[in-house]
Amino acid sequence: MLKVGAPLIGLAIAVVLVVAAIFLFKTWWGTPPTALGFSVLNLGEGPTQPIAFPHTVHVQDAGLDCQFCHRTVSTEEAAGIPAVQQCLFCHDLGRIDGSSFDANGNKVPGTESPEIAKIRNAFYGNPDTGDGPAPIDWVRVHRMPDHVQFVHSPHIQAGFSCSTCHGDVASMVKVKQVQDLKMNQCVDCHRQNNAPTDCATCHY
């Protein structure tokens, strides 16, 4: 019979435990990072987006409603990510953009931002690099596991505010997940509000 030395077995167990710990950490406590209460390896931050879009400016300063951009939140499953074209409602030439001046020749605030230039480049193509128009790939902040179906519209129609789950996005420069949104939270809230708690409500 093959004889294996004790230190080797110890090492093997240690390795398995470490790997399992990494796995558990990443999959369960990894999202949202705040579940740990502290930030490790940047995990406490929201992801870095291709364009540093500040919700603060748009919601607090400009006073836009969430639904102005997330148009389908009250009618569909997904809240919806706005089309680049919609950004250009305001950030197109002659408006709040890199052209620097409005129709009356006055300087427009927020003009030289390279982030806004990225939006125009995405829509019209980038004259410097020669790249054509391209959709923007944002990094998802909130993601339900594949076996969960979450539909926004009934929650909004029942009168819940976006901030119930998403926190005070209006004051976030970089959006991050603030609730852990695990099943216990869903079920607790459904119970408190007499919403159905059958398995098939979410797992279908």
Q: Give yes or no for a cis peptide into 135 (omega within 30° of 0).
A: no
- State the nearest-atom distance from the C-beta of 145 to another protein, in Å: 9
Total chain residues near another protein (CB under 8 A): 38
* Among 7-15, 58-66, 93-101, 165-173, the segment contacting another protein (CB under 8 A): 7-15
Nearest to 199 by CA among 142, 128, 146, 148: 148
Tokens linked to 200: 């098939």
Please select the residue that binds another protein; options are 13, 17, 52, 82, rule is CB under 8 A: 82
Interacting residues of 111 by C-beta distance below 8 A, sequence separation 6+: 96, 97, 98, 99, 100
Q: Are 202 and 149 in contact (CB under 8 A)?
A: yes
Decide whether 105 or 145 has the Cβ nearer to another protein.
145
What is the x/- site pattern for another protein, positions 162-201, by CB under 8 A?
A: ----------------------------------------
> Looking at 34, 58, 68, 72, which residue binds another protein (CB under 8 A)?
72
Using CA atoms in the order 164, 170, 173, 176, what is the torsion angle rounded to 10 degrees?
10
Q: Which two tokens stand for residue 164?
A: 């119930």
81 or 195: CB nearest another protein: 81
Would you count residue 5 as binding another protein (CB under 8 A)? Answer: yes
Stretch 109-148: interaction string toward another protein, x if CB under 8 A: -------------xx---------xxxxxxxx--x-----
Bridge partners (DSSP) listed for residue 107: 101
What sign has the CA pseudo-torsion 33, 57, 111, 80?
Answer: positive
Q: Is 63 in the site for another protein (CB under 8 A)?
A: no
Q: Site residues for another protein, window 142-161 (CB under 8 A)?
A: 143
CA 53 vs CA 9, 14, 65, 157: distances in Å: 51, 43, 16, 27
Per-residue mark of binding to another protein, 22-41 (x: CB under 8 A): xx--xx--------------
- State the residues that interact with another protein by CB under 8 A: 5-8, 11-12, 15-16, 18-19, 22-23, 26-27, 71-72, 74-76, 80-87, 122-123, 133-140, 143
